[in-house]
């Protein structure tokens, strides 16, 4: 199939929260930088009744709220690209009107679904009914793609009935983040890292995704999902795959995704001792009192708001290296980071001089600060009459400082542009999704079999004490400083 750049874009769920906070601001910012095809026509659709002008007014409010003024460009030009068609996605009626509004598929059509997963199947049927699934149409799918392997397959089968894999773009917005992509550059563009990126030199790896927020507006979804399915199944396993993957033969979609799926298939099934779940209780975040999960929910629940795991990748490169992962709500900090802890030096020539050495550590900060920090041992200045003194010295690369004058882009800017242009490198393939679900389903089945229930932790803490014990029994401490 010939590649194409879309000159039509349909946004399903165009009046939703994601569209207001991310999609419309991202598209406007791309337009301001002249990165969108000049003829691109954007059609929003949702249940809400409004006309083109109403949608433009809605979009203007969203842009003024969520996009910095210096990134808006000529907002009027962008707003003129926008059109709107009301649609009940669950019935076939209305899809022909949507097709007319799109004004044919043009050179190519990109469709972005940011709707409830339950609407995916009827939406695909409606698109097919209206002739909007041809070879010059590609589709982007926002998570969650199912709640387990079976439901994920059902969704993927429905999409595959109308679109082949080369035209399906499954979005994980973490893969659009600059520092996540920088992880690949760090590993595969620098000779100093790749030779030591293995079990011989790395003792363990930590991946932390901390949120300070509670349920907010996601009450029903989150209580059905929980931290394992909401965060680990997608974002964290994708980060793990990027850390562990073998060097791909090129930076092309197939080559990169082939290596990621090998990692996901090499994940060892977890034992009951390798996972900890928690649920927050009333506490304080940043000095402000916050209610517990049960109070926010208004009832008792066994849904986990925190999970810590000790994983292993059973292959030659990573044999014996533990990967500690934790994520939770109402933690002390909003943070996403990867910590690579290197092994101790095999012999210290400084021991006889009273100096102690500490192993090197690489910290990759993904949010809210994008930075890379490498800790090295260095000698303190002095005449050393009382012995040599060594200290860890951080080498910091703060991304905004290293690349001054370059915009900090919203992750969705890259992903939407890649969808329009047809680059699948940063999107998730079906076999990746299914390998992730297979591993996650086994963990959940293990919890059920062992009658595991979440341990409570105080909001504003780093989770239940059992999460500390998970690492401490291996002589490891979580990177909390």
Strand-pair partners of 339: 206, 363
CB 149 within 8 A of CB 142: no
At 206, phi and psi to the nearest 5? -120, 135
* Tokens standing for residue 288: 């402000």
Check the annotation: does 83 bind a ligand.
no
CA Rg value for the chain: 24
Q: How far apart are CA 196 and CA 357, in angstroms?
A: 19
Q: Which of 83, 129, 235, 479 is catalytic?
A: 235
CA-based nearest residue to 200, from 343, 359, 376, 361: 343
Hey, is 327 helix, strand or coil? strand
CB atoms within 10 A of CB 446: 16
DSSP 8-state secondary structure symbol assigned to residue 206? E
41 is in an annotated binding site: no
Helix, strand or coil, per DSSP, at residue 141 = strand
The answer to whether 173 is a known ligand-binding residue is: yes
396: enclosing H helix or E strand? strand 390-398
Instruction: For 334-398, give the DSSP string.
Output: -EEEEEEEEPPPS--TTGGGT------EEEEEEESS-EEEEEEEEEPSS--TT---EEEEEEEEE
Q: Is 230 annotated as a binding residue?
A: yes
Instruction: Output DSSP code: residue 135.
Output: T
Please name every residue paired with 207 in a beta bridge, in sequence order, or none if there are none. 325, 338
- Within 10 angstroms of residue 5's Cβ, the number of other Cβ atoms is 15
Q: What angle do CA 253, 257, 263 make, to 5 degrees?
A: 165
**Is-contact 332 251, C-beta < 8 A?**
no
Which are the contacts of 265, defined by CB distance < 8 A and separation ≥ 6?
Answer: 435
- Strands 202-210 and 109-113 turn out to be unpaired
- Residue found by looking up tokens 């199944």 in the block: 233
Q: What is the DSSP string of 460-473?
A: TSSS-HHHHHHHHT
Q: Is 47 annotated as a binding residue?
A: yes
DSSP secondary structure, 12-54, as one string: ETTTSHHIIIIIHHHHHHHHHTT-S-TT-EEEEEESS---HHH
For 418, the token pair is 């890649």
Are 26 and 142 in contact by the 8 Å Cβ rule? The answer is no
235 given a catalytic annotation: yes
**Which three-class secondary structure state does DSSP give residue 258?**
helix
Which residue, 19, 76, 67, is CA-closest to 43? Answer: 19
Task: Tell me: is residue 31 an annotated ligand-binding position.
Answer: no
**Which residues are documented as binding site?**
47, 143, 173, 177, 211, 230, 329
Q: Which residues are catalytic?
A: 235
Binding site listing for NADP(+):
47, 143
List binding-site positions for substrate. Answer: 173, 177, 211, 230, 329
């Amino acid at each position: 199939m010939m590649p194409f750049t879309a000159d039509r874009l349909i946004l399903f769920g165009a009046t939703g929260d994601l569209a207001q906070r991310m999609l419309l601001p991202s598209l406007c910012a791309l337009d301001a930088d002249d990165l969108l095809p000049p003829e691109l026509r954007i059609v929003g659709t949702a249940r809400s009744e409004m006309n083109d002008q109403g949608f433009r007014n809605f979009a203007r409010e969203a842009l003024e709220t969520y996009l910095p003024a210096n990134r808006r460009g000529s907002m009027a030009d962008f707003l003129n690209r926008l059109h709107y068609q009301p649609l009940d996605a669950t019935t076939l009626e209305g899809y022909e009107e949507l097709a007319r509004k799109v004004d044919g598929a043009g050179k190519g059509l990109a469709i972005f679904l940011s709707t409830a997963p339950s609407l995916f199947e009827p939406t695909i049927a409606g698109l097919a009914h209206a002739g909007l699934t041809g070879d010059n149409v590609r589709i982007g799918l926002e998570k969650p793609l199912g709640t387990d392997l079976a439901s994920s397959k059902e969704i993927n089968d429905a999409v595959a009935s109308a679109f082949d894999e080369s035209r399906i773009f499954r979005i994980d917005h973490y893969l659009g983040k600059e520092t996540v992509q920088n992880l690949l550059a760090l590993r595969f563009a620098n000779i100093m890292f790749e030779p030591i990126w293995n079990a011989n030199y790395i003792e363990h790896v930590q991946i932390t995704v901390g949120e300070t927020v509670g349920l907010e507006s996601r009450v029903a979804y989150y209580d059905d999902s929980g931290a394992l399915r909401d965060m680990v199944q997608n974002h964290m396993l994708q980060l793990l795959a990027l850390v562990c993957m073998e060097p791909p033969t090129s930076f092309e979609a197939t080559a990169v995704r082939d290596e990621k799926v090998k990692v996901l298939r090499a994940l060892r099934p977890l034992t009951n001792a390798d996972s900890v779940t928690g649920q927050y209780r009333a506490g304080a975040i940043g000095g402000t009192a916050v209610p517990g999960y049960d109070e926010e929910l208004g009832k008792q629940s066994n849904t986990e708001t925190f999970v810590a795991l000790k994983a292993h990748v059973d292959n030659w490169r990573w044999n014996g290296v533990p990967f500690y992962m934790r994520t939770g709500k109402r933690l002390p900090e909003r943070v996403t980071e990867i910590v690579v802890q290197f092994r101790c030096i095999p012999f210290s020539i400084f021991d006889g001089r009273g100096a102690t050495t500490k192993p090197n550590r690489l910290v990759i900060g993904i949010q809210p600060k994008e930075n890379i920090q490498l800790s090295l041992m260095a000698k303190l200045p002095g005449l050393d009459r009382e012995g040599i003194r060594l200290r860890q010295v951080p080498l910091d690369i703060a991304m905004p400082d290293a690349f001054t004058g370059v915009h900090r882009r919203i992750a969705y800017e890259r992903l939407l542009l890649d969808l329009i242009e047809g680059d699948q490198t940063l999107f998730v393939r079906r076999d990746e999704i299914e390998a992730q679900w297979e591993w996650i389903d086994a963990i959940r089945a293990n919890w059920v079999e062992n009658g595991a229930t979440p341990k409570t932790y105080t909001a504003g803490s780093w989770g239940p004490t059992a999460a500390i014990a998970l690492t401490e029994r291996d002589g490891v401490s979580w990177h909390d400083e």
